[in-house]
């Protein structure tokens, strides 16, 4: 079945989401934010639909690297949530009726239309160790929609790592919704890393409901998907919200990775920062399309946007468009987009000490990545990501 | 060890070195002096294969081999070390990791066994203890946030660990207080075993008192105009460069 004609009526579970999808229509190049990202191949490929009516059990032994004393671990396999005996009274897993969602992101509604009940992980107190959510995909030429609502109440700080592990065959399109709800004063440190198959396309649709004085720190480390999009859709209504998104994009061959953000400041004293570093090899393509709107009631806002790109090949390409729409007088705002090759002086310093050129280049690339990964607050999560990423390198 | 003949070098289409002849034998200490812009740094950078320096004419032989056919990495692993006037900061690269990688690259080049982390740490600590270098620098990123003096001490640490045969010191004493100059000079002197050679750029008498040169060369407009021994440096201290011509 192909997505383009929305010809999957018999699979619809959520009529409301399906109707929203029909109104909004799947994004194409005519839409400003998607001008540089061609999704038409995703819409016209004939997929099997993975709608997870059958629950397959996770082979926990196979994923032993995620099961240890350092984390609480939850597995999501074909949209079914499973745990191996680790238990915590403050982590509640359920399937619930979905809340109404006014997202303008048609891809968000695409996944929602296939899902009747929503997977929800609710954390009701601070955890003594990080939570690791391992999303496993093992399909063949499949479109896999999924949705997870992460809700944090009463806690002061929670560290959460989501890992996306794929052993897919053929062309697979994973359209992944993540809704994040944070109670007042909650801090969520959320990190995400993928280990994809070469022909995977991932779209991550983020939506949120952040209460007063809550903080959402996101660190995203992309890996080796053919096509990877992070759609950050945040409407910040409540006073004192702090939103920080840091991402590293290190891609090769003809991969494309896009960070497309629509951040709206409606409340006062809100800070949002999005900072993406791109390392682009071969014929890869990075996209940074970030629009921050600061409405007239959003006084004392702080808004920062930054795209830094290191091009390692003449054929690599970056499209960076940071945009600020400012409708208030009192704020601090900054945006930048820079692009260049590896710093020659830094490279020379290393090779003049006898380090071979290729190793020196690798060290400098790793130093760019580490700069983002070091934004992960929790040491256990940070060390895991560094180690896991080392295994991921092409 | 090093034999330079009629060396002409340009940077950005401008000729800086206009026919340098210089011979350094094993164990000798040579000093380059001259006003700013005379070509001193260009000479040491050229020997180290700096990307800015384009050799238009002349030759450099190192241990009877054509040095110009070797790239920067190869020259370093053959024993050439240039300390930078202004060492660059590289955030995100741990200083210890960098040093271990450099040492093991050299050891691999020399077909020696690479050191593991424990052995390497032991080696480095022996150097930092011997010369009173704060080993906290090992935990930091390469030169990041270092003061000028700390950067120079980090250059010294690299020298002590890598043990090069030809030391090219480009104002290694600049920005150092009296005690720090003493530390740096002690470290360099500890390496001088009669086989290692030094080509040093400095403006300061104090450094020359501590590392007594065998030869002093005065550069002017890309050429060596005068060569002498330590007494030439002392005379320079009295007369300045302008007074030398008289």
Tens digit of each residue's pLDDT (9 = 90 or more) over A318-331: 999 999 999 999 89
State the average pLDDT over residues A24-29. Answer: 85
B77 part of a folded domain: yes
Count of structural domains within chain A = 1
Please determine, for residue B236, whether its predicted confidence score (pLDDT) is greater than 50: yes
B246 falls in which pLDDT band (50, 70, 90)? very low
As a whole number of angstroms, the distance between CA A106 and CA A109 comes to: 5
Interface test with A, best of B44, B72, B77, B139 (most A CBs within 10 A): B72
Q: pLDDT for A43-85, tens place per residue?
A: 888 888 876 555 567 777 788 888 888 999 999 987 788 887 6
Q: pLDDT for A279-322, tens place per residue?
A: 999 999 999 999 999 999 999 999 999 999 999 999 999 999 99
A9 part of a folded domain: no
B136 falls in which pLDDT band (50, 70, 90)? confident
> Of A352, A357, A363, which has the smallest distance from its Cβ to B82's Cβ?
A352
Please determine, for residue A1, whether its predicted confidence score (pLDDT) is greater than 60: yes
Write out chain B residues lying below 8 Å of A364, CB-based.
Answer: 90, 93
Interface test with A, best of B48, B73, B140 (most A CBs within 10 A): B73
Chain A residue nearest residue B101, CA to CA: A355
Structural domain including B29 reads: 2-240
| Partner-chain contact B72 A352, CB within 8 Å | yes
A29 part of a folded domain: no
Please determine, for residue A394, whether its predicted confidence score (pLDDT) is greater than 50: no
For residue A238, what is the DSSP state?
S
B246 part of a folded domain: no
Average the pLDDT over each of A28-37, B56-65, B96-105 and give the range with the smallest value.
A28-37
Using the Cβ of A297 and the Cβ atoms of chain B, whether some distance falls under 8 Å is answered with: no
- Rounded to the nearest angstrom, the minimum Cα separation between A170 and chain B is 37
Q: Which residues make Cβ contacts (< 8 Å) with residue B76, sequence separation at least 6?
A: A351, A352, A353, A354, B48, B102, B106, B162, B164
The residue behind tokens 């340098």 is B20
Please determine, for residue A9, whether its predicted confidence score (pLDDT) is greater than 80: no
A15 part of a folded domain: no
Residues 104-143 of B with CB under 8 A from A: 105-106, 109, 141
Neighbours of A57 (CB within 10 A): 9
- Residue from A95, A202, A103, A55 nearest A143 by CA: A202
Write out chain B residues lying below 8 Å of A357, CB-based.
Answer: 71, 73
Determine if the pTM surpasses 0.80: yes
Q: pLDDT for A75-108, tens place per residue?
A: 998 778 888 766 788 899 998 888 888 888 999 9
Q: Beta strands B141-142 and B90-94: pairing type?
A: antiparallel
Please determine, for residue B3, whether its predicted confidence score (pLDDT) is greater than 90: yes
Cβ-count burial A143-170 (b if 16+ within 10 Å, e if not): bbbbbbbbbbbebebbbbbbbbbbebee
Count of structural domains within chain B = 1
Longest dimension (CA), chain A: 65
User: What percent of chain A shows pLDDT beyond 90?
Assistant: 65
B85 part of a folded domain: yes
State the average pLDDT over residues B89-103. Answer: 94
Chain B residue nearest residue A348, CA to CA: B50
pLDDT at A77: 86
Chain B residue nearest residue A364, CA to CA: B93
Chain A residue nearest residue B109, CA to CA: A354
pLDDT at A333: 96
Structural domain including A76 reads: 59-388
| A373 close to A279: Cβ distance less than 8 angstroms | no
| Partner-chain contact A344 B51, CB within 8 Å | yes
Strands (E), chain B: 2-11, 14-24, 29-33, 54-62, 65-66, 80-83, 90-94, 141-142, 166-170, 197-201, 215-220, 223-228
Higher pLDDT, B240 or A165: A165
A10 part of a folded domain: no
A120 part of a folded domain: yes
pLDDT at A7: 72
């Amino acid at each position: 079945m192909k997505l383009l004609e929305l010809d999957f009526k018999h699979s619809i579970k959520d009529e409301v989401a399906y109707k929203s999808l029909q109104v909004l229509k799947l994004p194409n190049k005519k839409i400003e934010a998607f001008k540089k990202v061609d999704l038409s191949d995703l819409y016209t490929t004939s997929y099997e639909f993975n709608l997870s009516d059958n629950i397959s059990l996770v082979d926990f032994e196979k994923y032993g690297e995620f099961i240890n004393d350092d984390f609480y671990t939850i597995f999501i396999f074909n949209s079914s949530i499973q745990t191996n005996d680790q238990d915590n009274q403050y982590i509640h897993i359920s399937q619930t009726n979905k809340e109404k969602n006014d997202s303008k992101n048609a891809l968000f509604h695409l996944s929602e239309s296939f899902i009747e009940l929503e997977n929800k992980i609710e954390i009701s107190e601070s955890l003594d160790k990080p939570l690791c959510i391992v999303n496993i995909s093992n399909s063949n030429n499949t479109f896999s929609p999924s949705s997870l609502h992460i809700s944090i109440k009463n806690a002061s700080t929670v560290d959460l790592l989501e890992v996306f592990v794929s052993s897919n065959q053929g062309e697979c399109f994973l359209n992944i919704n993540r809704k994040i709800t944070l109670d007042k004063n909650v801090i969520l440190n959320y990190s995400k890393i993928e280990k994809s198959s070469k022909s995977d396309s991932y779209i991550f649709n983020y939506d949120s409901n952040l209460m007063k004085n809550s903080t959402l720190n996101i660190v995203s480390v992309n890996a080796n998907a053919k096509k990877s999009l992070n759609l950050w859709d945040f409407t910040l209504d409540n006073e004192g919200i702090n939103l920080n998104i840091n991402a590293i994009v290190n891609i090769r061959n003809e991969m494309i990775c896009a960070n497309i953000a629509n951040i709206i400041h409606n409340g006062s004293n809100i800070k949002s920062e999005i900072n993406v570093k791109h390392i682009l090899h071969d014929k890869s393509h990075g996209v940074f399309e970030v629009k921050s709107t600061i409405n007239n009631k959003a006084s004392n806002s702080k808004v920062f946007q930054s795209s830094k790109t290191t091009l390692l090949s003449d054929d690599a390409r970056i499209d960076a468009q940071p945009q600020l729409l400012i409708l208030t007088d009192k704020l601090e705002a900054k945006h930048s987009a820079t692009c260049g090759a590896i710093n020659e002086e830094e490279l020379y310093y290393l090779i003049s000490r006898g380090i071979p050129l290729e190793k020196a280049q690798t060290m400098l690339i790793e130093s760019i990545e580490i700069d983002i990964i070091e934004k992960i607050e929790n040491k256990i999560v940070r060390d895991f990501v560094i180690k896991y990423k080392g295994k991921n390198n092409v | 060890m090093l034999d330079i003949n009629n060396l002409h070098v340009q940077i950005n289409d401008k000729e800086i070195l206009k026919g340098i002849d210089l011979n350094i034998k094993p164990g000798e200490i040579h000093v380059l002096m001259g006003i700013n812009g005379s070509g001193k740094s260009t000479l040491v950078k050229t020997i180290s294969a700096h990307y800015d320096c384009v050799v238009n004419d002349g030759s450099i032989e190192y241990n009877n081999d054509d040095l110009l056919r070797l790239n920067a990495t190869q020259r370093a692993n053959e024993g050439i070390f240039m300390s930078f006037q202004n060492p660059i900061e590289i955030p995100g690269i741990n200083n210890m990791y960098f040093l271990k990688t450099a040492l093991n690259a050299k050891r691999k080049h020399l077909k020696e066994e690479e050191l593991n982390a424990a052995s390497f740490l032991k080696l480095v600590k022996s150097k930092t203890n011997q010369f009173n270098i704060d080993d906290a620098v090992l935990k930091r990123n390469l030169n990041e946030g270092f003061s000028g003096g700390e950067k120079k001490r980090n250059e010294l640490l690299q020298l002590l660990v890598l043990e090069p045969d030809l030391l090219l010191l480009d104002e290694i004493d600049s920005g150092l207080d009296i005690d720090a100059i003493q530390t740096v000079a002690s470290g360099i002197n500890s390496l001088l075993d009669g086989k290692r050679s030094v080509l040093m750029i400095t403006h300061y008498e104090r450094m020359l008192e501590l590392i007594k040169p065998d030869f002093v060369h005065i550069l002017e407009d890309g050429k060596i105009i005068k060569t002498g021994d330590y007494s030439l440096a002392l005379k320079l201290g009295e007369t300045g460069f302008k007074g030398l011509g008289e």
